Amino acid sequence: MLSVVRTLVTVIYILISIALIVVVLLQEGKSAGLGAISGAAETYWGKNKGRSMEGGLLKSTHILMGLFIVISLLLNLNW
């Protein structure tokens, strides 16, 4: 029974790893925001960054990273 749970957690861990890679690759680089130097960050998209696709990718990256770390620690236990 315990080996089934460990296998299931390992499969979830692999899926989270793949999702994390995809989400990170979908994000824009920091050099794409160079317009902020000239004040272009005060546009509608700059003010509502949390509601945009970029903000959603950032939130999902944080959530996936947290799950990745927690499951990594869980799989490292000797059970």
Query: pLDDT, tens digit, for every residue of 2-56?
Result: 899 999 999 999 999 999 999 999 998 776 555 556 555 555 555 566 678 888 9
Neighbours of 45 (CB within 10 A): 13
Contact 73, 9 (CB under 8 A): no
Placement of tokens 């499951």 in the chain: 71
* Structural domain boundaries, residue 73: 39-79
**Among 18, 52, 19, 20, CA closest to 33:** 52
For residues 70 and 38, which has the higher predicted lDDT (pLDDT)?
A: 70
25 part of a folded domain:
no
16 part of a folded domain:
no
27 part of a folded domain:
no
Q: What angle do CA 23, 26, 31 make, to 5 degrees?
A: 125
Instruction: Enter the pTM of the model.
Output: 0.72
21 part of a folded domain:
no
34 part of a folded domain:
no
* Counted domains in the chain: 1
